[in-house]
Structure 1
Amino acid sequence: MGFCKRQAGVLLHITSLPSAYGVGTLGKAAFDFVDWLYSANLHLWQVLPLVPTNYGDSPYQSVSSTALNYYLIDLDILREKGLLQKKEYQNIPFAKKDNRVDYHLLFINKVPVLRKAFLRFDATDQAFLDFVVSKKYHDFAVFMTLKAMHDYQAWECWQKPYRNYSLKTEEEVVSLHREDYLFWLWTQFEFLNQWNALHQYAKTKQIEIMGDMPLYVAYDSVEVWKHPELFVLSADHRKKLVAGCPPDAFTEDGQLWGNPIYDWDYMKKDRYAWWQDRLSRAFELFDILRIDHFRGFDRFYAIPAEDTTARNGRWLDGPKFDFFKDKTELKIVAEDLGFIDAGVRELMRQTTYPGMKILQFALDGSKENEHLPSNYGTNFVVYTGTHDNLPLYQFIFDLSPSALKIFLEQLKEECRLAGVRPRLYSYRMITQTVVELAFASKADYCIIPMQDLLAQDGTSRMNFPSTVSVNNWSYRVLKRQLSRRLADRIRRYVEKYRRD
């Protein structure tokens, strides 16, 4: 059953690492974070999708499902390679605040610096030539060259000759716009070099990196542009049905995500070859992979594209276990949150993938709550919260007096059952107690968002679902917050609850 060992780790995206240049990167701060994890005796580092971001800055709405985010390329490493001088980037305003990513400033200022480095790069380097010939990121480079030609507009707004993919368009880009095409390829080449160095270093510290894969792709993506046959689209490649979630107790209109849905019947004809490639690439990058919205493989909610709410959607069948029958040995974590029915539970049983439990959802007074540590076994990943939730401290602070009373009473009982001594004399101590309860739980994996380890408030929230805001995806941790004191406290949890 499952692949997990009894271990613990942290959820912190690369963008959230400390940096003097506006965004966390694959440079020294990432290596320092690995060292910090090691000092805390943690063995797991979970990141969000590493794909390039687009409008809205979400790593779950990318121009490519397999490309890599060039914002994460470290400039100091480029300087060490002789491709940049410090004076060429050290005074550029990449951000306004040390604790926030400013994607607008990154878009304006970082790409020109990367282009400058590329112009100094030896494009006749044999490793790069082999990379180009492999065509692994060819589609992304063609798409981004065309996107840059059209002021980064969505492909549906491009000039008519380019709007629909053709081999002629592809050949034109490669020949007439070769420098731009090679630049975008180089961003992927350089990212991989930096990532592989970081990943290998993490392995020397016995730390596994867990990646994250969105189920759906964005409409403004190279996949939809080049392979419209994979999606449910009209004859002119417009969306017919889009993804989302039905109305529930929290959202009377449901959630309208807007992603095109897959044509699973078409995909089945070649045994899901596009997905096979996508998963293979992911496992070249990561040791473990979380798949977002896993329930969509059983049944998915499809909404007419012209609708403005999700009220009129309907449930349609996904590929079910047919998709996974040759993938049960993969180290996949299934995000099985939200509306979970018998079909999803059966798919979880068939795959044996570990699911997720969220302590923020647990302490509501119900003894049958499936997120209560006393109600589940070992083949799970327990979190205090996810990137879509309020930080735990703020969640507790915002509870009404009656809800807080229920929360604390149930917390005390769960602590008694798990052998945790509750400390409930302040919101910070309550937060730490819930974190310790996660470590004490029977779940094989325990992963805590950095915001909850630090007991940070709502201003540190990573994402507020279904909104576009400069506050989303912009959270950053400061170097001083990754303290020895915090590492020592976590190490005590790891040792006490045998997660080493």
Structure 2
Amino acid sequence: MKRSSGILLHFTSLPSRFGVGDLGPAAYDFADFLAESGQRFWQVLPITPTAPDLCNSPYSGFSAFAANTNLISPEIMVEYGLLEYEDILNHTQPDTNKADFDAAGEIKETLLRKAFSKVANTLLDDPVFNQFIWENMHWVNDFALFTALKKHFKGDSWITWPEDIRDRTEDGLRHWGEKLYREILYVKFCQWIFFRQWGQLKDHLEEIGVELIGDVPIYVTHDSSDVWANKHIFKLDENGKPYCVAGVPPDYFSKTGQLWGNPVYNWEVLQNEGFGWWSSRMKHNLGLYHWVRLDHFRGFSAYWEVPADAETATEGYWVPAPGHQLFEKLTAEEGCLRVIAEDLGHITPDVIWLKDRFYLPGMNILQFSFGEDIGYCGDALHNHRRNAVVYTGTHDNNTNRGWFLDDADEISRKNLLAYLGYDWIDDAKISWEMIRMLMSSVGCLCIIQAQDLLNLDGSARMNVPGEPVGNWTWKLTPGQLTPLIREKLGEMTELFGRTSKID
């Protein structure tokens, strides 16, 4: 990875008239903004399906392979001839600075149903559609049946379904597949449309010299097609309920740790099977993105396992994982891994060894660096390593301005000012000062939150770990990323030798 820079902005945070940002015109506009300001990378959050009852978190999806249909662009469906322009005009919403997931879900569902009704009877005659199904057979059939069943059973968890389909008996799969045939076809149609639009956007990005960094959470949601279809690779009891769940011990974000609740893997079974499920997952994502950030990388060396009946994550314990064997297999299959290791939190020598063994760039967070240990803190600018991706903050951090005003203690503010050589600073300038520091890092890639280009305060924060509501809603409005910001970012990028050049 050559010296470069990029912006972190999830698709749902793009401007949109349909509730949340999507793969439509605003995505192309933002891609062009990146190229014109010398940025080489666009980092996004997971694109897997989300749900209101899971707080619309992109880290709590119903599938590790399928895509969130709320990200489908109605405008591009018009270009395909699947909708009329009048169809989408009747469903536009005010373009505000907050994502409306409920409205987006209703709008996209209505428009996708209308588009599907036009082609449903001839869809299986379309060779492009059939090729998509064939190439994605390892996940799309299970996901489509799972989604149709979730709708039929009014959103109930798969562990409450009739035994024949809960346990995926041969007769049960046949019966329910026939009974829900049309709904299953609709789900496959929606996935086809998404990945068709995705391919077009990726082609545009490659034409202008911008690469996508995706995000792969280490765990999947219990109520997902992955767990339902692969129960044996998770630690579940005879009724399908997890007897151990995932989390992290007490850390920067929480004094009692974080109790995520995802089922943990049965790594012994996975290893005995040659890590087939993980291999398919990584191949899928490395095909979608140019680079993949593996969330909670330390869990591939040892993970925090918590009894399912525990009240907090403090009752957990460390369990070793065969990450070395997994990455050996992935390297043999994919060659040099285009993977960024999210090595934040409780990092031990074994985690560092695993990351360095496969030459994976790690992460540094500038906001973490200004405490009492600034002299030897690994996140401090003077201690960055070249093979690293450096951030002022990620989606889990406050904005720069919000951090300075609300989160930083007296020592952190004092050390930041000392680092900048100031006695005092206007908080209206703090964000760009931290961006300048980040750009000067020796780290090969620096990533900036889009909110920080706008010097926004904590109200624009994307996520507060441990808080169940109020997250993921920040959204750009049209025109916020002005030519002046583009010019300023471009000049700073060039000054610090990070400008993207198209070959």
Classify the TM-score, shorter chain.
over 0.9
Q: 1:306 aligns with which of 304, 309, 314?
A: 309
Look up the match of 1:130.
Answer: 131
**CA distances 1:422-449 after superposition (whole Å, capped 9, x unpaired):** 7963112121111111011100001001
Q: 2:416 aligns with which of 401, 408, 418?
A: 408
Look up the match of 1:295.
Answer: 298
| 1:11 and 2:14 correspond | no
Map 1:23-34 to 2 at 5 A: 23-34=20-31
Shift of 1:84: 1.4
Q: 2:354 aligns with which of 330, 347, 350?
A: 347
Please give the alpha-carbon distance, in whole angstroms, between the structure 1 residues aligned to 2:80 and 2:407: 52
Look up the match of 2:152.
Answer: 149
Cα pair 1:364 1:406 within 8 Å, conserved: no
Shift of 1:117: 0.7
Look up the match of 1:377.
Answer: 385
The code of the aligned residue for 1:25 comes to D
Normalising by structure 1, report the TM-score: 0.94
Count how many residue pairs are aligned between Structure 1 and Structure 2: 487
Per mean C-alpha deviation after superposition, the further-off stretch among 173-182 and 202-211 is 173-182
Look up the match of 1:43.
Answer: 40
The code of the aligned residue for 2:459 comes to T
Cα pair 1:173 1:181 within 8 Å, conserved: no
Look up the match of 1:492.
Answer: 491
Please give the alpha-carbon distance, in whole angstroms, between the structure 1 residues aligned to 2:467 and 2:167: 30
SS at match of 1:325: helix
Cα pair 2:285 2:292 within 8 Å, conserved: yes
**CA distances 1:326-352 after superposition (whole Å, capped 9, x unpaired):** 435111000000111111111112111
Please give the alpha-carbon distance, in whole angstroms, between the structure 1 residues aligned to 2:357 and 2:275: 19
SS at match of 1:479: coil
Shift of 1:286: 0.4
Look up the match of 1:391.
Answer: 399
**CA distances 1:311-331 after superposition (whole Å, capped 9, x unpaired):** 211100011311112435111
Cα pair 1:363 1:410 within 8 Å, conserved: no
For structure 1, the 5+ residue unaligned runs are: 414-421
**CA distances 1:116-175 after superposition (whole Å, capped 9, x unpaired):** 111112412111123234424111101101011111222223344432323333323332
For structure 2, the 5+ residue unaligned runs are: none
Please give the alpha-carbon distance, in whole angstroms, between the structure 2 residues aligned to 1:16 and 1:306: 36
Look up the match of 2:341.
Answer: 334
Look up the match of 2:429.
Answer: 429
| 1:270 and 2:273 correspond | yes
The code of the aligned residue for 1:499 comes to R
Look up the match of 1:53.
Answer: 50
Per mean C-alpha deviation after superposition, the further-off stretch among 137-146 and 362-371 is 362-371
CA gap 1:52/1:484 in 2 versus in 1, 3 angstroms: same
Shift of 1:478: 1.3
Please give the alpha-carbon distance, in whole angstroms, between the structure 1 residues aligned to 2:382 and 2:236: 46
CA gap 1:399/1:17 in 2 versus in 1, 3 angstroms: closer
CA gap 1:400/1:374 in 2 versus in 1, 3 angstroms: closer
CA gap 1:167/1:463 in 2 versus in 1, 3 angstroms: farther
The code of the aligned residue for 1:85 comes to E
Shift of 1:226: 1.2
CA gap 1:249/1:35 in 2 versus in 1, 3 angstroms: closer
Look up the match of 2:188.
Answer: 185
User: CA-atom RMSD, angstroms?
Assistant: 1.8
Identical aligned residues as a percent: 34
Please give the alpha-carbon distance, in whole angstroms, between the structure 2 residues aligned to 1:45 and 1:120: 35
CA gap 1:405/1:187 in 2 versus in 1, 3 angstroms: closer
Shift of 1:109: 3.3
Please give the alpha-carbon distance, in whole angstroms, between the structure 2 residues aligned to 1:156 and 1:228: 11
Normalising by structure 2, report the TM-score: 0.93
Please give the alpha-carbon distance, in whole angstroms, between the structure 2 residues aligned to 1:6 and 1:175: 54
**CA distances 1:350-406 after superposition (whole Å, capped 9, x unpaired):** 111000000111122421111011012210001010101111111101256733542
Look up the match of 1:416.
Answer: none
CA gap 1:190/1:249 in 2 versus in 1, 3 angstroms: closer
**CA distances 1:249-289 after superposition (whole Å, capped 9, x unpaired):** 65332211000000000000121010000000001100000
4+ aligned runs moved over 4 Å, structure 1: none
| 1:169 and 2:166 correspond | no
